[in-house]
Amino acid sequence: MTKTAVRLVDATVTVNAGSSNEKNILDHVSLELQPGDFVTVLGSNGAGKSTLFNVIAGSLALTSGQIYLGELDVTHMSEIDRTKYLSRVFQDPKLGTAPRMTVAENLLLAERRGKSRRLRNRNLTKTKMAEFATLAAKMGNGLDSRLEMATGDLSGGQRQALSFLMATQSQPELLLLDEHTAALDPKTSAQLMAVTDQSIKAEKLTALMITHNLEDALEFGDRLIIIDAGKIALDVQGATKQALTITELLTYFNRY
């Protein structure tokens, strides 16, 4: 039997229940990801993409249905407790990092994800600094030379690169990428996407990535889903995904 990394069973979020405006913003979604799956997620604004991520992360409760990470039922687990198992990178580079702490201190904090976070005078030894420099160097944007700089003084691209490093540092069971390159200029976005793809493959991470960039959705990942009106309207992988074109995706979007 194939192991499942993430499983949603009839996941539903209802708003305005009992009124004439009752609506399912997530509508009986069932979805399974296997370990190592890299799934790109498309959908128009208001389709339910962020709602899907919010219920998986635990920042929004389901009205009905279940969510499993591996064999663990996390449906009623708090958002904080879920950080033991998953990480999330947001669109806004300001989210996910502590601006007054240095880059190295943020990385030290990320090491304690899901654990006690007492830093004890932020003890950064030479060995630890060397380790963080090696880690940051793979981003290819000079972050490794700014380990002692306050995170709030970084460029937007460097700060988002740090957010990505922090999210993947402890190899989470699930990585949620919530339009993590959307606020960046094209060059910086392409650079971060290349590192993202390389890291997910090298570390065999299971990842869901929301994007509005159709080229990225086709180029990256081994599976693609489109969400519309709170439902999964398309779910393709393998050769079927590889054969898709931007024109076909646009045609598909025009159906909804």
Instruction: Dump pLDDT digits (tens) for 188-233.
Output: 999 999 999 999 999 999 999 999 999 999 999 999 999 999 999 9
Handedness of CA 156, 221, 205, 10 (dihedral sign): positive
107 has a pLDDT exceeding 80: yes
pLDDT digits (tens, 9 = 90+) for 127-158: 889 999 999 999 989 999 999 999 999 999 99
Backbone angles phi, psi at 83, to 5 degrees: -65, -15
**What letter would DSSP give residue 219?**
H
On whether the 1-85+173-256 domain is CATH 3.20.20.370, my answer is no
Question: Rounded to an integer, what distance in angstroms lies between the CA atom of residue 254 and that of residue 256?
Answer: 5
**Distinct helix (H) and strand (E) counts, the chain:** 9, 10
pLDDT at residue 20, as a whole number = 87
Considering only residues 172 and 3, tell me which one the structure prediction assigns the higher pLDDT. 172
Q: Provide the pLDDT for residue 254.
A: 66
Q: Would strands 38-42 and 64-69 be described as parallel, antiparallel, or unpaired?
A: unpaired
Average pLDDT over residues 118-131: 72
So what's the pLDDT on residue 112? 75
- pLDDT at site 1: 43
Amino acid of residue 143: L
pLDDT at 52 over 60: yes
pLDDT of residue 118: 56
* Arithmetic mean of pLDDT over the chain: 91
Residue 114 pLDDT greater than 90, yes or no? no
> What are 148's two structure tokens?
């002692």
Mean pLDDT, residues 52-56: 98
Q: Residue 3 above 60 pLDDT?
A: yes
pTM for this model (two decimals): 0.92
Q: Is 70 exceeded by the pLDDT of residue 256?
A: no
| Confidence at 250, pLDDT banded by 50, 70, 90 | confident
The ranges of the chain annotated as CATH 3.40.50.300 are 1-85+173-256
pLDDT at 121 over 60: no
CA distances from 69 to 12, 58, 119 (A): 17, 12, 29
